[in-house]
Amino acid sequence: MAVKAWDSSLTLPGLIVESRAVVDGTVEVSGRLASAGAICPDCANPSTSFHSRYDRTLSDLPVSGSTVRLRLSVRRFRCTHTSCQRRTFSEPLAPPVGRRYGRRVGRCDALVRAAAVALGGRPEARMMARLAMPWSRDTMLRVLRRGDPAAELPPPARVVGIDDFAWRRGHSYGSIVVDLERRQVIDLLPDRRRDTVIAWLRQNPQVEIICRDRGPGYGVAASEAAPQARQVADRWHLFENASAAFLAAVRSEMLCLRRALAPTGPVDPATLTRAERIQWDGAQLREALNR
C-alpha cells in the first residue's frame, strides 16, 4: 500500500493527521482539528480560551481489507461571554469528519444507508463484518430511520389519519396526525378540540382523504374545514366496532347457546371454569332483570 495513496484517501477538510499505525490488523490514525478556536453553541461568541481536551474514536472506511479507526483529539474551550450560562464547550466537527455524538466518519453514511436499503439489518451486519466494517444491525436500522439528508423534502400529506392520544391519561389529551402514505407522524396538536383540528385542516388544504375514528368530534371538524376530503374509518376502529357488536350479540343469546351446547339438561355451574362462571353469573343476572 503506497503512503501517498493512503494520505490522499484520509484527507478530510479541517483534519490534521499526526500519526498512523497498524495494531493487531487495525489501522489506527491519530489526528486533530485544524481550527484555532470554536463558537459557543449558546451565545455564538467565538473563543480561543483553551480548557481541556478529550479523545474521540470514529470508524472509517477500510483500507486494503483492514479496519480503520480515527482517533481525534478534541479540544474544549471556555466561553468568555459573561452573560452566557455555558461554561465550556467542545469544538464541533466538520460534516465530512463526523456528526455530533456520531461514531463514524461522515463519508461512511452513504455506504451504510445503501447497504441497509438493499440487505436490511442482520444480513448487512454480516456483510459489513466481512468487509472490515463491524457495525451492528441496530446501527443500520438507525441510519434507515434517520433518513437520507440529501433527499428532497417529501410532498405535503395527501392521506392523513387523525386520532386522540393522552398527554396524561384521564387529565389531558391531544391529537396526532399521521401521513398514512409515508407512515410517519407529521404533527401533534395540543388538544382534541374541534377548533384546533379545523385550524390545522385549513392550513393543509391539499388533504384528500381523512382517516378517523367513528366519533362525531373529528367528523364535524373535517366536514367543516375540509369538505373536499373523503372521510373513511380506519381498520382498527372497524375491527373494534365489529368485535364489540359480535360480543354483544353473543352475550344476549348466552342462555340459548348454553342450552344448545348442553341439550341433555341444565348447565351445572360446578363444571364451569372461573371465566365461564363469571359469564354465566352475568347472563343469569341479565335474564332475571329482563323478566
> What is the residue extent of each domain of the chain?
3-98, 107-148, 159-236, 253-289
How high is the pLDDT of residue 149?
62
| Residues 40 and 80 sit within 8 Å (Cβ to Cβ) | no
| Residues 209 and 232 sit within 8 Å (Cβ to Cβ) | yes
245 class by beta-carbon count within 10 Å (0-12 exposed, 13-18 middle, 19+ buried): exposed
How high is the pLDDT of residue 211?
92
Q: Average pLDDT over the chain, rounded to whole? A: 82
What ranges in the chain are assigned the alpha helix state H? 3-9, 108-119, 121-130, 137-146, 194-203, 216-225, 235-252, 254-261, 274-289
Please state whether the predicted TM-score (pTM) of the whole model is above 0.85.
Answer: no
76: Cβ contacts below 8 Å, ≥ 6 apart = 50, 51, 52, 53, 54, 88, 89, 90, 91
| Residues 210 and 223 sit within 8 Å (Cβ to Cβ) | no
Of 2-16, 183-197, 219-233, 261-275, the poorest mean pLDDT is in: 2-16
Banded pLDDT at 201 (limits 50, 70, 90): very high
Instruction: Fold for 159-236, please state it.
Output: Nucleotidyltransferase; domain 5 (3.30.420)
- At residue 100, what are phi and psi to the nearest 5 degrees? -65, 125
How high is the pLDDT of residue 264?
59
C-alpha 132/C-alpha 108 separation (Å) is 13
The arithmetic mean of pLDDT across residues 260-265, rounded, is 64
Banded pLDDT at 162 (limits 50, 70, 90): very high
Q: Which three cell numbers stand for residue 225?
A: 374545514
More confident: 171 or 99 = 171
What ranges in 71-215 are assigned the alpha helix state H? 108-119, 121-130, 137-146, 194-203
